[in-house]
Structure 1
Amino acid sequence: MQKRALITGITGQDGSYLAEFLLNKGYEVYGLVRRTSTTKLERISHIQDQIRLVSGDILDARSLQHVLELAQPDEVYNLAAQSFVPESWTQPILTGEVTALGVTRLLDAIHMVNPKIRFYQASTSEMFGKVRETPQNELTPFYPRSPYGVAKVYGHWITVNYRESYGLYACSGILFNHESPRRGLEFVTRKVTNAVARIEAGLQTELRLGNLDARRDWGYAPDYVEAMWLMLQQEEPDDYVIATGQTHSVYEWVVTAFNLAGLDWERYVVIDPKYVRPAEVELLVGDAGKAERQLGWKPTVHFQDLIQIMLEADRKMVHEEIV
């Protein structure tokens, strides 16, 4: 029989790639969307006629039960979150309600409606924060450095708790940074590649950034959604770090992007203190050895190629804007 999957956060970067991936696997795909006057469907517009969008809200437990009863999914992928880290300082309570308690509402709905549903929780490397060891693996202690990171730690442990308390097939994927042309413009990676494309075209003269010294483990989002699916295909539920094992600074990202365009970054980049976080995460790099051994997963796109993919997409977008 055709499998069914429900994706929360389907309109985001990961949700859109996951929906494509599952459709290619022959799934019937449902996507949870909040009913608003300005729902943004750009990332899934090309597959919108192949998926079923259902109205619900991660803040409303009853609506989640209704959606589960309607969709009757075999798998649920919880990608819904207030996921922009800087915003979590200005909206810490909302971040907690969505990114932390939203996980509990969804798990509880699964427990009540159909405990046989397999559940994926989108955990994050931001949970490691002020890292205790390098590289970080599934046993590394958490030390989050933002309200977002704190909320994600709650979401991670409540997933473990429901797995152990009720026997749910519930997994957490501890995903390190993963980017693509569908990344929002507010994120530094996309902000840089988009600015380079606009500077090339004469539409922009400067790029304002914060801390260039922060180091991250950056991968390619389509690689990472495959790992989500693989986690739910195993005999037993477990948690996995998904990462490239390579770390690079924001400075390296900037220099590489400008070099690919033949531009001198120092002529255009301005350091602006307003973009510096109240508490910075200085270094993240993951050990995905467990995922390689048990899931057979490996990243396929690495640092410079990832930047090239994003820059080319932004160049195309800028070209369409001009013409």
Structure 2
Amino acid sequence: MMKQNMEVLGIARSEAFYNERKNDDFKCDILDKAKLKEILTSYSPDYIVHLAGPAFIPDSFINPLKTYEIIFNGTLNLLECVKELKLNSKILYVSSADVYGGNNNSVLVETEHYDPKSPYSAAKACSELLCRQFTNSYGLNTVIARPFNHTGPGQSIDFVCSSFAHQVATMVGQNEKILRTGNIDVKRDFLDVRDVVEAYIRLLMLGVNGETYNVSSGKAISLRDIIEILFREANINKYEIYIDPQKVRNNDIPVRIGESSKLRQLTGWFPKYSIEQTLADIFHYWKEKSLHADR
């Protein structure tokens, strides 16, 4: 967004950045309403991208109360601050395609019903409803994005593509070439995080108040194919795949694709990164990390 001559303030609990420069004055927990209100008062943003919240779904089963508190109460804090300060900020709430949950339709459109299967996805669904209520009741300008799976260099190895790439990168030059995983025959809709960010920017500019938009590639790839692409990038021809029973999820939806024509028709957005390019970038990111670690 800085390339578009926009001032950018990034807020987090651990650190904050103003136009890419560290600024501890803006460090803030979204649950700290007073501090959040102070920052919004001083900065008075035209646009707000709300991404705050835990992202690793399995953790939400371990601590559901914390999950709801951060995702739902954090969203309520933000909306209340904007309302009370009478700001005209346009808010992009980044939800998750996981709100579709156990919906068995292979291709999902925005009008599908909620069917959350985790505290994380239920909290996201509740926060979506909260945004709509504040739009209907108080006239706040809110747009909801529902991103499907996305990945890219720097992503935590808690997530599948980064986990695979990290494992493959550490195999280079090693004798043992065993990749450990769960079910690899499910097919998922993956996007490069850089394409996702571009979609968010366009929704900030053009998204219609009160509307929801899937952010997705519109096609699926199996985890098995992702593994093959990564080993090919690493020039490793012989390897083993170990299916860890503890990593196999019961009742995994076989195929999940997001229909994103609503986003595309409104904004002209389309993905620029192929899955091959994304996976190559993640692999080389971890390979470089591995080389530095060996020095």
- The answer on whether the counterparts of 1:196 and 1:258 sit within 8 Å (CA) in structure 2 is yes
User: Which of 229, 239, 253 is the matching residue for 1:256?
Assistant: 229
Tell me the amino acid that sits aligned with residue 248 of structure 1: I
- The answer on whether the counterparts of 2:154 and 2:285 sit within 8 Å (CA) in structure 1 is no
Tell me the amino acid that sits aligned with residue 56 of structure 1: C
Tell me the amino acid that sits aligned with residue 227 of structure 2: V
- Residue 193 of structure 2: aligned partner: 221
Q: Determine helix, strand or coil for the equivalent of 2:34.
A: helix
Q: Which deviations, in whole Å up to 9, do the C-alpha atoms of 1:90-140 show, x marking residues without a partner? A: 111111111222111111111111331110111111111212433111111
Q: Partners of 2:143 and 2:25 in 1: how far apart?
A: 24
Q: Partners of 1:40 and 1:210 in 2: how far apart?
A: 34
Calculate the TM-score normalised by the size of structure 1. Answer: 0.83
For residues 1-323 of structure 1, the aligned pairs below 5 Å read 22-34=1-13, 39=14, 48-49=20-21, 54-202=26-174, 206-234=178-206, 236-237=208-209, 238-264=211-237, 266-267=239-240, 269-277=241-249, 280-323=252-295
Q: Which sits farther off after the overlay, 206-215 or 167-176?
A: 206-215
Tell me the amino acid that sits aligned with residue 233 of structure 2: L
Q: Partners of 2:238 and 2:134 in 1: how far apart?
A: 49
Kindly state the Cα deviation for residue 321 of structure 1 after the two structures are TM-superposed. 2.1
Question: Is there any run of 5+ residues in structure 1 with no aligned partner, and where?
Answer: 1-21
Kindly state the Cα deviation for residue 52 of structure 1 after the two structures are TM-superposed. 7.2
Kindly state the Cα deviation for residue 203 of structure 1 after the two structures are TM-superposed. 9.1
Q: Determine helix, strand or coil for the equivalent of 2:144.
A: strand
Q: Aligned residues, how many?
A: 294
Q: Determine helix, strand or coil for the equivalent of 1:65.
A: helix
- The answer on whether the counterparts of 1:123 and 1:173 sit within 8 Å (CA) in structure 2 is yes
Q: Partners of 1:320 and 1:131 in 2: how far apart?
A: 44
Kindly state the Cα deviation for residue 82 of structure 1 after the two structures are TM-superposed. 0.7
- The answer on whether the counterparts of 1:130 and 1:282 sit within 8 Å (CA) in structure 2 is no
Over 3 Å counting, the alpha-carbon distance change for 1:235 and 1:222 in structure 2 is closer
Question: Is there any run of 5+ residues in structure 2 with no aligned partner, and where?
Answer: none
Tell me the amino acid that sits aligned with residue 123 of structure 2: A
Q: Partners of 1:227 and 1:198 in 2: how far apart?
A: 33
Kindly state the Cα deviation for residue 280 of structure 1 after the two structures are TM-superposed. 3.7
Q: Partners of 1:235 and 1:121 in 2: how far apart?
A: 11
Q: Partners of 1:56 and 1:288 in 2: how far apart?
A: 33
Kindly state the Cα deviation for residue 51 of structure 1 after the two structures are TM-superposed. 6.8
Say what the alpha-carbon RMSD is for the aligned residues. 2.4
Q: Which deviations, in whole Å up to 9, do the C-alpha atoms of 1:12-69 show, x marking residues without a partner? A: xxxxxxxxxx1222121112221xxxx478xx89x74277761221122222212211
